[in-house]
Structure 1
Amino acid sequence: MTDVAPASPPATAALADLLQLRGRTGWLTPPLRPFQRGEGAVLGVARTVRIAAGPGAHGLKPLHALLAEDLTGRVVVIAGADAAPGAVWGEILTAAALGRGAVGALIEGSVRDVSAVAGSGLRLWALGEATAGPGGAVHVAEVGGPIEIAGTPVADGDPILMDDGGAVALPAADADTLLADALTYHRAEEEVLAALTAGLRLPRAYTPKAEAITRLRGR
């Protein structure tokens, strides 16, 4: 999956609302917050990493090895990095990821070099910001396995939709259906906005969205 035009995919907010309608989760924002939003929307594919406390046998070297892979269209998703006392991601890893074709990084932990990363083109979301690096306090426990961020499961290869509003992970098995239904929801919201612009009051203007919610909830 690659960059898509902003008008092509649903908004992440619409996708999150659809998941809520069906009693599901998938949004990673919150707890993650933006440090580099990028321009427009991007639909990428997760490349998962799980970090654990302790120095481990190889430290963070497996993450560095991953960033030497072909990452075209990939979103690096790192869970467990909040175990580190400092940042596990910064300018160097951003440059490495971009050089291998990555489109985003979602870090359950801290990042640094935020001003240097700004405008890089790599969407970057994390829990917070730190000045120091991770030291030897954490290690990569697994690459490519299933992870969770704040209870939301992400598998390697799952689609990740990112835009100015957030980041949402989708299970690969039914991602196409969910994206199509979320686009229906998104277009209904656009109809509401067009009706309000035309002068209709909200109770009447809201009708297309209410009808879409009824249809989509029942699927």
Structure 2
Amino acid sequence: MTPELFKLLTSVDTPTVCNAIEVAQGQRGFSDFTRGTMLCSNVNTSAIVGYARTAQIAATEPSKEPKDVIRARRMAYYKHMSTVTEGLVEVPSIAVIEDMDYPHAIGAYWGEVNTNIHKAFGMSGALTNGVMRDLGDMAENFTVIAGSIGPSHGFVHVKTVGEPVEIFGMRVRDNDLIHADRHGAIVIPRSVIGGLEAAINKLLRTEKIVLEPTYGKRITFEEFEHIWASFEAART
């Protein structure tokens, strides 16, 4: 990861990065992405990019653990969220929170209070299969990508901190590099990071071969055949 790559990643959408990973890998079949439709707290913001800070929560039933245990884990959670990834370039973290009540999640963990707390820790956003609320009152420039919207926090409490989680079919480990926007999220493999900037730029260049002569224009099939042949040749 370099500052230049980080800037580039925040300027393109998640489908572009998903395709670019396959360019970097030299084949189709990349599968570390979310399945299904997710909701974005602000569709007009750029993608969130950062290293995962994972945790699991639940909310449909109150915790049966002692109050001091619940509080200690909550404080351990916030300490974990505030910690910068050691040994890695200055890239923000993303809270990646699995709601263990999914697909029947009811507790909105993400709202005005938690978005402001996590933003104050320097995090760029949150990814969850759970619930968000307080739309319009969330921290500015802190994007939440969630499974649903609801009014209540239920009995929300932290269950685990730093353990592997699953969000809409995508497995995430602590410190995984995440790219997410209104389309969903992906885990960027560490193995492609060195070639990802070149792969994104190649993808954008080759797409222009099709987009520039077709965008807002009328073409014949014969013209399309020529365009597509040039496009295929550039992709190989």
TM-score, with length taken from structure 2? 0.72
Q: What is the count of residue pairs matched by the alignment? A: 211
**Structure 2 counterparts to residues 38-187 of structure 1, below 5 A:** 39-52=45-58, 55=63, 56=65, 57-58=69-70, 61=74, 62-70=76-84, 73-83=92-102, 84-117=105-138, 120-136=140-156, 139-163=157-181, 165-178=183-196, 180-187=198-205
Render the CA deviation track for 1:17-36: whole Å, top value 9, x for unaligned.
35575312122363422112
2:163 corresponds to which letter in structure 1? G
8 Å contact kept, 2:54–2:95 = yes
TM-score, with length taken from structure 1? 0.77
Once the two structures are overlaid, the 10-residue window that deviates more, 159-168 or 85-94, is: 159-168
Question: Aligned residues: percent identity?
Answer: 25
8 Å contact kept, 1:19–1:25 = no
Q: CA deviation at 1:168?
A: 2.0
Once the two structures are overlaid, the 10-residue window that deviates more, 78-87 or 107-116, is: 78-87
For residues 165 and 179 of structure 1, the distance between their equivalents in structure 2, rounded to whole angstroms, comes to: 21
Q: CA deviation at 1:112?
A: 0.7
2:178 corresponds to which letter in structure 1? I
For residues 211 and 149 of structure 2, the distance between their equivalents in structure 1, rounded to whole angstroms, comes to: 36
Change (3 A) 1:113 1:5: same
8 Å contact kept, 2:210–2:227 = yes
- Equivalent residue, structure 2, for 1:193: 211
Query: What CA RMSD, in Å, does the superposition of the two structures yield over aligned residues?
Result: 3.3
For residues 80 and 179 of structure 1, the distance between their equivalents in structure 2, rounded to whole angstroms, comes to: 33
8 Å contact kept, 2:209–2:230 = yes
Residue 77 of structure 2 aligns to a residue in which SS? helix
Larger Rg computed on CA atoms: 2
Residue 41 of structure 2 aligns to a residue in which SS? strand
**1:30 aligned to which of 31, 36, 40:** 36
Change (3 A) 1:7 1:124: closer
Render the CA deviation track for 1:115-149: whole Å, top value 9, x for unaligned.
112x710121000101010315xx43322222222
Render the CA deviation track for 1:94-126: whole Å, top value 9, x for unaligned.
001111111110011111101112x71012100
Gaps of 5+ in 1: none
For residues 172 and 160 of structure 2, the distance between their equivalents in structure 1, rounded to whole angstroms, comes to: 13
Render the CA deviation track for 1:68-101: whole Å, top value 9, x for unaligned.
4458601111113544422111110100111111
Change (3 A) 1:153 1:195: same
8 Å contact kept, 1:68–1:96 = no
Higher relative strand content: 1
Residue 70 of structure 2 aligns to a residue in which SS? coil
Change (3 A) 1:189 1:38: same
Once the two structures are overlaid, the 10-residue window that deviates more, 151-160 or 28-37, is: 28-37
Gaps of 5+ in 2: 86-90
Change (3 A) 1:161 1:153: same
For residues 199 and 166 of structure 2, the distance between their equivalents in structure 1, rounded to whole angstroms, comes to: 25
For residues 47 and 7 of structure 1, the distance between their equivalents in structure 2, rounded to whole angstroms, comes to: 19
Render the CA deviation track for 1:178-206: whole Å, top value 9, x for unaligned.
56434422331133212324966443333
